Structure formats: C-alpha cells, structure tokens
Structure 1
Amino acid sequence: MSAATRHRGARGREGIVLVMVLFFVLLLTASIATFLRRVAMDAGIASHRDRARQAEAVARGGIRLGEVLLLEDLRNKGAAPGPDSQHDVWALVRGLDLDDDPDVELRLEIEDAAARVNLNGFLKEGAVDENGRLYLEQLFAGVVAIMPGRPEENAYDPAELALRLADWIDADDVGIDGAPEDEPYARREPPSFPQNRPLLSVDELRLVEGFDGRLVEALRPFVGVYPLVGGGGINVNTAPPWVLMQLLRGTDVSGQRPLEEDDVKRIVEAREESLLCAGETQAPGCMPLAELLEGEQLAPTPAERSSVFVVRAIARVVDVERRIEAVVDRSDPAEPKRLSWRVE
C-alpha cells in the first residue's frame, strides 16, 4: 500500500470520527436543552402551585375579614339599627386593595342578598299566591324583553315560567292548574321530579321546566335565593338600578304599575345623601320612601334589614388569581353561619 493510499484512509477515518463526535455533541446538547426545559417547566409548575395556594389562603382570609365587617356593622348600629345601605362599613371596602404587599392583591365584594329579587320570598305557608305569580310573570317578561337574540330564540312564556317555578317550590305535588306537577319531568331522560322546596341556588332554575341556560344567565343579575325562608323584599338602599326597575308602585285605589326611570333616578340620588326608610326601621335622618313616590307604596314590600350577605374575595399573587364566594348569615352575631362556599 502506497503512502498516498494510507494517507487517504487515515483522513477518511478522521472524518468519520469527526462526524460521530459532532453527532454525540449535538445529542448531548439536545439532551441538556430538554433537561433544562423540563427543569424550568417543573419550576414553573411548582411556582404556580405555590402561588395558587397562597392566593387561596389570602382569599380565605378575605372571607373571614368580610364576616368581621358584617358583625362590626351590627355592633356600630347598636340596639336600634337603621337600614342596611351602601354607607355601611361592609359596603365601603368594595374596590379597595386590602393587602399592602406589591405582589399580592386582595379585593372584597360584599353584596346584600336583599339587593336582588328573592325567588324564594314568594313562598308563603308552602304556596305561591296569585299576586306572587303575577309579579314573577312580570319579572320574567321584563327580562325576556331585554335578552339579546332573535325573537324565535326568546320564545319564552312568562306566565308558564311563573307557574312552573311556583310548582317547583311549593309544598304539594299537584300543579296550580290541577294537573300532576311531575308530568313534564317524567317525560325527561332520565326522569326527574319537582323538588317542592325552596330553590338552593339560581342555577337550580335550569332544572325547572321551561327554563334553560340562556334564560337563567339573563335572570342572574336580577334574582337570588337567599334567605331560603322568610325573606322577600328588595332593599332600595342597596339594590342596583336594574333591580329597582322591577318594583311596582301604587295604592289600593290607583293600582300597581312598574317604576319608571325617573322614579329609579330619584331613589338612587336620594340614597346617596341619606338612608331611605319604608317603615320597618327608624334612624336619624332617614327619609321616608313615600316622600319620593308621592305617598304611594312599593310592591313587593321593601326590606330594610338583611341577615344574609354574599361575600366574594378575589386574591391575586403575582399572576395567579383565586376567587372564593361565601354566603354568610349573620342573624346570630355570636355564631354567624356560612350557607355556601365556592372556590374558583
């Protein structure tokens, strides 16, 4: 073998070795990059998990703070409290960041349950009377009228909806129209039946014949279910304008008619300056509601004091957010009760 041939063979072997070295270098580099990515991903997951736990802990603390504010409100009002209003200590924290840590944010929203129409409030002695059904019919008709969508998509029958809801929550198993209440439910797959008890949540409306998801979501800003028993009136000091629009005004002589926008505007402006009273409570500087309505009364009869509140705590730790919603009953200040608890 000549020297030239041996030289070419050596160069060829060196080239193969170089290729193999480059291959293993690239393989090692790719392995290291994959490992680093997995380490970074695992670290990110662990960091997100820790932040989520911290956010939930902060939100739980926010719920407890909300309960303390509700009890402090009772203590401030003393033995002769006035109406619950947007001037109370529990209402003034809305929109404030309650944590001074720059990486942590805590906000509270406390809502008076009487700021919405209580669907269970129409249940009296195990039944919904005709006046209650007529009011529900008007409420449903008003909400359907403002729902987005084509007319054929909103082809709900408000009278039928009121009837079905009354049958769902009343105590008997015979429909108001005389037919068995469970007839439409027995045809479902799987079959179901009316609960014949107060609604436990607004979402339960989805189970009532005639209601669907679109309608329930449209009703949600207007209605609630607390207190489950014994409540009913809307607090004009805390209700938003769109709920106030669902009230009726009038007398036994003039009859009842819906509030107009000007009526609602007067109520909203007046409650910014002072408390509004309908006769249930007395407080210094309280303006009688009848003065704003030319002596007429509201229906359903307004509520002024509430025992049930919805407390929402929104906590954010860096980029992770947790929300907790609790329904709190403060009727017994020595032992407030949580009626529901939901973590989002």
Structure 2
Amino acid sequence: MKKPRLTSSFPWPKTFLGFPVGEPRSGEPATAKDRGIAMIVVMFMITLMALFSADMIVNSAVDAELAIGSRNNLKAEYIAKSGANLATFLLMADLAIDLGQHEATGGKASISDSPTDFWGMLNGFPIGADTMEMAGQMQETFDLSKISDSAVLDSLKQFDGHFTLNVADESSKLNINSMPDNTGNVYSNMFKAMMSCPAEKDYLDKKKVNVPELVAYIRDWADKDERPNDESAKSSEDDVYADRVPKIKAKNAPFDSLDELRMIPGWDVDMHAIFSPLLTVYPIPVGTGKNTRTLINFNTASREFLGCLFPKSTTDCAEKAMEYRIKSDKDGPLSGQPEIQQTLKESFCADSPESEEIINRFTYRSDLYRVKVQAEVFGQSKTLEVVLQRKLPGDDDVKNQYKAAYRYLYWKML
C-alpha cells in the first residue's frame, strides 16, 4: 500500500546553501522580501569573489617581486665574483709586466709595487652598463674604433648593474701573527709605537689601557708555548680569562682573523674600529719551521702608520717628510731596500736605536692584496671581500699542493 504524498499549500522557495533563491516552486510570483534576500546573497558572493581575486593579484605581485629580487640578488652575487676575477687579472697582469721588464733589462729593472701600479688603476671606478655607454661615447668622440672593438662595448652594455673595485696592499699593514715569533720583539715595538701616537695615546690613557700588558696578552694568545710573557704580570697565560663564561684558555696558535682580537682582554669594539685598519693576520703562518715575520711595503704604507712608527717625521722632520711625499708622487715608488733605509733616515729622521731595527722590516714590493668588490643590481647589493696571494708556482708548499700562480687566503660574501 503506497504512503500518501505529503503536500503543502505553502509556496516554499528554492534554496542554495540555506539561502532562499529564485521563484517559489508553486509558480507564484516572489514577493519584494524574497527578491531582497536574493540580491543580498548575490552581492555577498560577488564580494567574496572580488576579495579572492584581489588576494590572488596581491599574492601574484608579491611573488613576482620576490622572484625579481631573488634574481637580482643572484646577479649581484655573480657580478661581485666578476669583479674579483677582474681584480685577480689586474694583479697577475701587473706581476707579468714587472717580470717582463725585469727580464728585458737583464735583471736591472727592479720589481716594485705602489698604488700607481696596474692593479690600482680601476679603484673606485664603477664598472657596468653606464660605464660602457660612456666608453662608447669616448670611442666615437676620439675615433678609437681602430684600436677598440665596438662589438665588445655593445655586448658589455647589456651588463645589468655595476660593481666597484678597491684593491689594497695587505702588506702595508702590521701582521700581528709576526709578534710571537723569534723576532717578535721588533713587531711588538712597532705595535706599541702604533698605539703611542698623540691622539691614540690620549684615547688609551682615558680608557686606562696598559699597552705593554695588552701586547703581552696578544703574544700569549698566539704563541706556541704556555709560558706567560714577562710584561703580562701573570703566573699563567689563562689567568686573564678565568672570569670568562664559558671558560676559555689562550689559543696558543696564530690568529685566524682580526675579529679574534676581541677575545683579548681590553680590546673592545672602539679599539677594534680604530686600530684594525692598520693590522692584518695574513699570511697566516703554518708549521714550516721557517721565520714567520713579514715585511711591510714602504710604498703603500699609510702616512698615519709611518708617522706613528717614526714620531720625528711629524715634528722635527715634518717638512722633510712632506718634501719626500711630493717628490715620490713625481718620481714614483722606491725600488730597493737601501733606498728605503736612506729615505727613512734622511726624510723621516729614523736615526734612533729603536728605529734601526724597524727600518729593516720594510720592503718595496708585495704579493698580498685585499680586494673588496661592491656590486649592485636594481637595488640589490652584494659585497665580496677577498685576500689574494700571488706567487710563482713552486714546490715550497709543505703539502706540495701549491701549483698555481695565485691563491685565495680569505673569501667572504655579504
């Protein structure tokens, strides 16, 4: 027996997600209230779709910007590496030129290094598409098409972004890893002299820094023995680190970086900012059994550094020192140690017994350089810092692995 079908005379409207839509099922015309509810539902759905579309558009725009930023950041990184490669080429080309001149003159031409050399020609000069555009204009103005390939310039104009080189002689600084060796007293005296300039001395006196003790702590940190330096006034090298948390001891090994000086008691952020530009840790000595001392290139040493090492050059011999600097700009760098020693004695008044030992630590050339490359591509920037050592291939490496004409001692990308 069939169940009776339930019917109702009430005109129920069609529904969607619980909302009434459309005309009543009975075919009777919808009331104004029904149409208003339907309009609200439609507006609500349109609003949801608009918000969803806007969110997709914003997300797409953000993703596109992130992708562009990531691409430009990668480009900047490789442009910085290109700058490092260019600096390496300049340094090796400069050495090749010097060796060629030396050979062509039968060994009479001495090899020297100064900021006016080939490796320093592009310092501070932005290299990129804008630079190539300027080079192209100069080529047209001076009709240089016979000696310059315009196709190369046109290709370089496609170069996105630019980079700026700064090549500096790392041998113009005092190597703190030379202080603990057999001749370390000389380098320690140079370090003390560097910190005894009038302005630096006043600063250190206000901070109540005992310079001899500080130098002793530096030597104790990097030397190979565990015996404290006499000037440290300590019974053990580790006494000055007893209050450190976590516990540390003297390293008894060479400094790996200048930042490691922050481990030395008394060497704070301010002192690091003032003195670290005059210091280096390269080349880091290895267990060769050889003397680890490194000579300082007189031709690239800063005036401030020389003024600290030879105080009379800023007082009694200030006029002679200035005359030498003017003359050197015209005549070029010195190319022999006898010339350097004579210049230091005559123009810098390096005639004291202490100065006699110091002047023997100067040379006229270098094979150690710090390269800093700053690259930028559409707002994305990268900084690459490299320490490069150039050397003729030989078998003097302890591990017998050094067969190249240069090697990177330090590489850091920021």
Q: Give TM class, smaller chain.
A: 0.7 to 0.9
Q: Which has the larger radius of gyration?
A: 2
Task: Show the counterpart of 2:382.
Answer: 322
Deviation string for 1:176-231 (max 9, x for gaps)? 12622122224322211222232221111011222222321222222112223444
Task: Show the counterpart of 2:188.
Answer: 133
Task: Show the counterpart of 2:302.
Answer: 240
| 1:54 equivalent in alignment to 2:114 | no
Deviation string for 1:247-292 (max 9, x for gaps)? 226xxxxxxx564565664454333223343742889xxx955553
In the TM superposition, what is the alpha-carbon distance from 1:40 to its structure 2 partner? 0.9
Task: Show the counterpart of 2:370.
Answer: 310
| 1:87 equivalent in alignment to 2:116 | yes
| 1:173 equivalent in alignment to 2:226 | yes
Task: Show the counterpart of 1:76.
Answer: 97
Q: Distance in 2 between matches of 1:93 and 1:54?
A: 21
Q: 2:328 aligns with which of 235, 256, 271?
A: 271
Q: What amino acid is the match of 1:307?
A: D
Q: Is the 8 A contact 1:115 1:240 kept in 2?
A: yes
Deviation string for 1:297-336 (max 9, x for gaps)? 6735323211111111221112111111111110236431
Q: What amino acid is the match of 1:277?
A: L
| 1:160 equivalent in alignment to 2:220 | no
Q: Distance in 2 between matches of 1:146 and 1:92?
A: 38
Q: What amino acid is the match of 1:236?
A: F
Q: Is the 8 A contact 1:118 1:232 kept in 2?
A: yes
- Partner of 1:156, secondary structure, is coil
Change in CA separation of 1:128 and 1:307 when aligned onto 2, cut-off 3 Å: same
Q: Is the 8 A contact 2:256 2:284 kept in 1?
A: yes
Q: What amino acid is the match of 1:332?
A: L
Q: Distance in 2 between matches of 1:215 and 1:294?
A: 29
Q: Distance in 1 between matches of 2:189 and 2:350?
A: 24
Q: Distance in 2 between matches of 1:121 and 1:278?
A: 24
Deviation string for 1:94-124 (max 9, x for gaps)? 0122333463102111110122222223343
Task: Show the counterpart of 2:398.
Answer: none
In the TM superposition, what is the alpha-carbon distance from 1:295 to its structure 2 partner? 7.6
Deviation string for 1:79-106 (max 9, x for gaps)? 3433210110101110122333463102
Task: Show the counterpart of 1:223.
Answer: 279
Q: Is the 8 A contact 1:174 1:181 kept in 2?
A: yes
Q: What amino acid is the match of 2:71?
A: D
- Partner of 1:277, secondary structure, is coil
Q: Is the 8 A contact 1:248 1:258 kept in 2?
A: yes
Q: Is the 8 A contact 2:174 2:191 kept in 1?
A: no
In the TM superposition, what is the alpha-carbon distance from 1:10 to its structure 2 partner? 2.2
Q: Is the 8 A contact 1:121 1:228 kept in 2?
A: no
Change in CA separation of 1:310 and 1:12 when aligned onto 2, cut-off 3 Å: same
Q: Is the 8 A contact 2:375 2:382 kept in 1?
A: yes
TM-score (norm 2): 0.69
Q: What amino acid is the match of 1:69?
A: L
Question: RMSD in angstroms over aligned alpha carbons?
Answer: 3.2
| 1:203 equivalent in alignment to 2:292 | no
Change in CA separation of 1:144 and 1:30 when aligned onto 2, cut-off 3 Å: farther
Instruction: List runs of 5+ in structure 1 lacking aligned partners.
Output: 1-8, 250-256
Q: Is the 8 A contact 1:119 1:224 kept in 2?
A: yes
Change in CA separation of 1:117 and 1:76 when aligned onto 2, cut-off 3 Å: same
Change in CA separation of 1:30 and 1:171 when aligned onto 2, cut-off 3 Å: same
Change in CA separation of 1:54 and 1:81 when aligned onto 2, cut-off 3 Å: farther
- Partner of 1:323, secondary structure, is strand
Task: Show the counterpart of 1:292.
Answer: 347
Q: What amino acid is the match of 1:174?
A: R
Change in CA separation of 1:270 and 1:123 when aligned onto 2, cut-off 3 Å: farther
Q: Distance in 2 between matches of 1:39 and 1:278?
A: 63
- Partner of 1:138, secondary structure, is helix
Q: Distance in 2 between matches of 1:40 and 1:262?
A: 65
Q: Is the 8 A contact 1:108 1:312 kept in 2?
A: yes
- Partner of 2:128, secondary structure, is coil
Q: Is the 8 A contact 1:329 1:338 kept in 2?
A: yes
Q: Is the 8 A contact 1:307 1:330 kept in 2?
A: yes
Q: Is the 8 A contact 2:382 2:413 kept in 1?
A: yes
Q: Distance in 2 between matches of 1:326 and 1:281?
A: 32
Count of residue correspondences: 324
| 1:45 equivalent in alignment to 2:66 | yes
- Partner of 2:124, secondary structure, is coil
Q: Distance in 1 between matches of 2:179 and 2:328?
A: 26
Q: Distance in 2 between matches of 1:158 and 1:13?
A: 92
In the TM superposition, what is the alpha-carbon distance from 1:17 to its structure 2 partner? 2.4
Q: Is the 8 A contact 2:313 2:321 kept in 1?
A: no
- Partner of 2:277, secondary structure, is coil
Residues 103-118 of structure 1 mapped to structure 2, 5 A cutoff: 103-118=160-175
User: Equivalent pairs: percent with the same residue?
Assistant: 24
